Amino acid sequence: MNLSLDRLTTQLTAILPFEAEVDNLRALVRFLYRVIVVLAVLLAIALAGWQYAQRHLTIVVPPDLTSGATLHRGQIPAESVFAFTFYIYQQLQRWPKSGTEDYPARIQRLAPYLTPGFRAELTLDAERRGPRLRDRTRYVLATPGFAYSPDHVHPLGGAIGGNAWNVELDLTEAEYVTGERIKDVSYRYTLRVVAMDADPELNPWGLALDGYVTPPTLVAESSR
C-alpha cells in the first residue's frame, strides 16, 4: 500500500511541472492575443485617418527668395497674388483678332480663374458690347516703371495669411481697328482676388479674380 502511494506521489511530481508549463503557455497565448487585438484596433484607426487625410498639400513659394521665407501650408505670398492677378487679367484683355469673338472666348477659357459672379458680370459685358467690338483688337501692358510692390497688394482684414486681397494694377490699354490704333490709355485697376481651391487640375494657382473693387482711375491718355 505504501509502495503504491509512493509511486503515485512520484508520478504526480513528474506531471505537475508539465501542467505548470502548459499554464504558462496558455497565459502567454492570452497575452499575445490581447496584443494582437490592440494592434488591430490601432491599425484600423491609422487606416481610417489615412483615408480621410488631405491627399495634397499646397506650399506656395514666393518668386523672390533672396531674403529667405517662412512658408506655411495654405499661405499664399503677396508676390504670388500679384503675379496671378496681372497674368490672368492681361490674358483676359487680349483680343488678337476681334473683340466680338475673342472677348467671350477668353472669358470661357479663363473661367477656372474667375469666380462665378465675376464670370457672369464679364459675360454680360461681352454680350452688351459685342457689336461695337467687331474687328477691334486689344492688349494691355504694365505702364512703364510699374512693378510689384507690397503697396499694390492689400490683404482684406489685415491678415497676412488671409484668403482675399485687393490688388492694384497700372496698365496701358492699346486698341486697334483694321490695324489703326484708336486708343492708348493708362488706367489703375483695383481688382479683388480670393482663394478658391475648387479644382487644382484646372486652376493650380488656387486663386480667382472676383471683380473690380472700384472703377478704373485714369492715369494718362492719348486717344485718336
Q: Which helix (H) or strand (E) holds 164?
A: strand 164-177
Q: What is the pLDDT of residues 35-69, one digit of tens each?
A: 899 999 999 888 877 776 656 556 565 555 555 55
Residue 8: CA atoms inside 13 Å, Cβ hemisphere, count? 5
197 vs 18, more confident: 197
Q: What is the pLDDT of residues 201-218, one digit of tens each?
A: 899 888 999 999 999 999
Chain centroid, CA 57 distance in Å: 9
pTM reported for the whole predicted model = 0.69
CA distances from 105 to 46, 70, 99, 179, 210 (A): 48, 39, 9, 21, 18
pLDDT-based confidence at 224, cuts 50/70/90? very low
Q: What is the mean pLDDT of the chain?
A: 82
Would you give the DSSP letter of residue 114? B
Q: In this predicted structure, what is the pLDDT of residue 13? A: 52
Report domain extents, the chain.
1-53, 78-221
Q: In this predicted structure, what is the pLDDT of residue 73? A: 64
Closest CA to 80 of 200, 199, 165, 176: 165
Cell output for 5: 502511494
Of all residues in the chain, what percent carry a pLDDT higher than 90? 46
Q: In this predicted structure, what is the pLDDT of residue 211? A: 95
The CATH topology of domain 78-221 is Nuclear Transport Factor 2; Chain: A, (3.10.450)
Residue 1: how many CB atoms within 10 A of its CB? Answer: 5
Residue 68: CA atoms inside 13 Å, Cβ hemisphere, count? 1
Q: Is the pLDDT reported for residue 15 higher than 60?
A: no
205 vs 72, more confident: 205
Would you give the DSSP letter of residue 143? P
Q: Is the pLDDT reported for residue 101 higher than 90?
A: yes
Q: What is the pLDDT of residues 123-142, one digit of tens each?
A: 999 999 988 899 999 999 99
Distance between CA atoms of 128 and 135, rounded to whole angstroms? Answer: 16
From first CA to last CA, the distance across the chain in angstroms is 137
The answer to whether 99 and 133 are in contact (CB under 8 A) is yes
Q: Is the pLDDT reported for residue 31 higher than 50?
A: yes
